[in-house]
A and B are shown apart, each in its own frame.
Chain A
Amino acid sequence: MAEPVAVVTGLSVSDAERSAGEFLEAFVEGTEVVDLTSLPAGEAFDLLFDEDPSAP
């Protein structure tokens, strides 16, 4: 018999138990547009090329 497919993935245990509204509110509010020109070059490049979570 096939394993049931998980409906929700990629969440920490604590996030999974957070309320849906609180989590999604933080998800939207936490998005910010960063002005690269205000950052030191190294930090800006770190932001641009940080690790890809989909990479194997």
Chain B
Amino acid sequence: MIDLVPPSPSAATLLPFDPFTIDDRSEAELDELPFGVICLDHEGTILRYNMAEARLARLDRNQVVGRNFFSRVAPCTAGPAFEGRFRDFARQGGAQDILRFEYLFDFKFGAQEVGIEIVRAPSGDRFYLFVNRRKFFDARRDLPEGFAAPLQRELAPDEGAAGVRRDDVDRRVLEVPWSFLSALRATCDQVAPEGWPLFCTAWGTQWGRSVAVDLETEALEAYQLSIREVPLRTAMEMLSRSMAKQGWGALRVDFSYTAQSAFVAHLDRSAIAEAAARSNTMRCHMVSGMLGAVFTHIANRRVAAREITCTARGDASCTFVVVPDSRRSALEGAIQAGVSDVGQVVRSLKRESLRG
């Protein structure tokens, strides 16, 4: 029997597109979603696995794609309450049906109460699971052997010997010296001296979307809230801590100018700026793109960030002015005009807007 009782809130309603078109969406689009998405064939073999699911399950999608979801990746789901419902739906569910139910995922690092929604792809042989985390608990004790989901190191033992490094939530990470960034800067200067600011800003925007998903998962785990729901100060501290932990520098956010519809982020000891050594131009475009994407995600409205001072250029710190996207071109105009004092930039933005 198919249970069509809706859990609340629904992940499917949070999608920026029709849930029944999800099979047409790219990996990048699935990776921007703040909740888990898993694509299975009718036998339960994992075909697609988005970044949020990988982060929250602490599994590397490269290790789970191709494995059976019920028997190898999430054995706690093998049974009538999950796998049984899925198989019934795979047999009987209609093209426009959504199967919804609540479940408790058991991992060795903790338990997660989730809302599950399942839709059938138009092709009929692929099924998408939307996994919306609701609550996090300590790992349940006294579970039967093999019931909780395996850890990443159990799915792929001896990764260290294969040159794979992971952080404390089992994401694959690289540890590279800053000469890696210097090499990027040198390459940009040689290959695309005019285009690299745009390229690096766009790269930063893509990076920022994944940072936003990381913040969402951290907020869920720590506070059982979305990043939009946590207090502003806490959200900024989470972002700053995340950047410092990865070695990008120390981020400070100054909201003194919000009455003028701008605020300012300072990045002290920016890794990108220091890797660039001395430069006639600003260098932290990637950070601008990242900050713009993170603030856009939190605001749920388009926000732009642009660097107005950079230590690579000899300034005291790397400073980013953040504005609503409606003021982006005015901000870029002020930067092109050589304005680098925060107060002057904000005043010039105001005049630009007033002129508008």
Judged by a CB distance under 8 angstroms, whether A3 is at the interface is: no
What's the least CB distance linking B246 to chain A, in Å? 16
A7 B237 Cβ-Cβ under 8 A: yes
Contact present for B226 and A21 (CB under 8 Å): yes
B236 — which chain A residues lie within 8 A by C-beta?
A: 7-8, 20
Measured CB to CB, the closest approach of chain A to B287, in angstroms, equals 16
- The stretch among B12-20, B135-143, B250-258 that forms the contact with chain A is B250-258
Q: Judge whether A48 and B232 touch: CB under 8 Å.
A: no
Q: Chain A nearest CB: distance from B354 CB in Å? A: 5
Q: In the complex, what residues of B have CB within 8 A of residue A25's CB?
A: 299-301
Chain B residues whose C-beta falls within 8 Å of the C-beta of A32 in the assembled complex: 353
Asked if A10 meets B301 with Cβ closer than 8 Å, knowing A17-B231, A31-B324, the reply is: no
Contact A27 B252 (CB under 8 A): no
A28, B303: Cβ atoms under 8 Å? yes
Q: Which of B87-95, B148-156, B274-282, B343-351 contacts A (4 or more CB under 8 A)?
A: B343-351
Contact A31 B254, CB 8 Å, known A48-B350, A54-B341: no
Name the contact of B229 in the complex, choosing from A8, A16, A19, A30 (C-beta under 8 A).
A19
- Within 8 Å by CB of B228, from A21, A47, A55, lies A21
Q: A11 to B258: give the CA distance in the assembly, Å.
A: 9
Given contact pairs A25-B301, A54-B341, A16 touches B257 in the complex (Cβ within 8 A):
no
Asked whether A28 lies within 8 Å of B232 as measured between CB atoms, the reply is no
Q: Is A2 an interface residue (CB 8 A)?
A: no
Find B263's partner among A6, A27, A33, A36 (CB 8 Å cutoff): A27
B4 interface hit (Cβ, 8 Å): no
Contact, CB under 8 Å: B251 / A7: yes
Enumerate chain B residues within 8 angstroms of A55, measured Cβ to Cβ.
343
- The reply to whether A53 and B300 form a contact with Cβ atoms under 8 Å apart is no
Rounded to whole Å, the gap between the CB of A44 and the closest CB of chain B is: 8
- In the complex, which of the residues B233, B346, B354 contacts A36, with contact meaning CB atoms closer than 8 Å? B354
A33 to B329 CA separation, bound complex (whole angstroms): 13
Q: Is the CB of B326 within 8 A of A21?
A: no
* Contact of A31 with B326 in the complex, beta carbons under 8 Å: yes
Assess whether B255 is in contact with A11, with CB atoms less than 8 Å apart: yes
Query: Once the chains are docked, how many angstroms separate the CA of A18 from the CA of B255?
Result: 13
Q: Is the CB of A10 within 8 A of B300?
A: no
Name the one of B233, B257, B354 contacting A48, with C-beta atoms under 8 angstroms. B354
Q: Mark B221-243, 1 if CB is under 8 A from A, else 0.
A: 00000111111111111001000
Contacts of B258 in A (CB 8 A): 10, 27
Return the chain A residue nearest B264 by Cβ: A10
Does A54 lie within 8 Å of B251, measured CB to CB?
A: no
- Whether the pair A10, B354 counts as a contact (CB closer than 8 A) is no
User: A5 → chain B, closest Cβ, in Å?
Assistant: 6
Give bound CA distance, A17 to B233, whole Å: 7
Interface pair A20/B256, CB less than 8 Å apart: no
Residues from chain A with Cβ under 8 Å of B303 in the complex: 24, 28
Q: Which residue of B lies closest to A33 (CB)?
A: B356
Shortest distance between the CB of B98 and any CB in chain A (Å): 26
Q: Which residues of B contact A27 (CB under 8 A)?
A: 258, 261, 263, 299, 324
B contact residues vs A (CB 8 Å cutoff): 226-237, 240, 250-261, 263, 268, 295, 298-303, 323-327, 341-343, 346-347, 350-351, 353-356
Question: Besides A16-B232, A28-B299, 11 other CB < 8 A contacts?
Answer: A9-B253, A9-B256, A15-B255, A20-B227, A24-B301, A28-B325, A31-B353, A33-B356, A36-B355, A47-B354, A53-B256
Pull 8 A–B residue pairs with CB atoms less than 8 Å apart, ordered by A: A7-B237, A17-B232, A22-B228, A24-B298, A24-B303, A31-B323, A34-B356, A53-B259
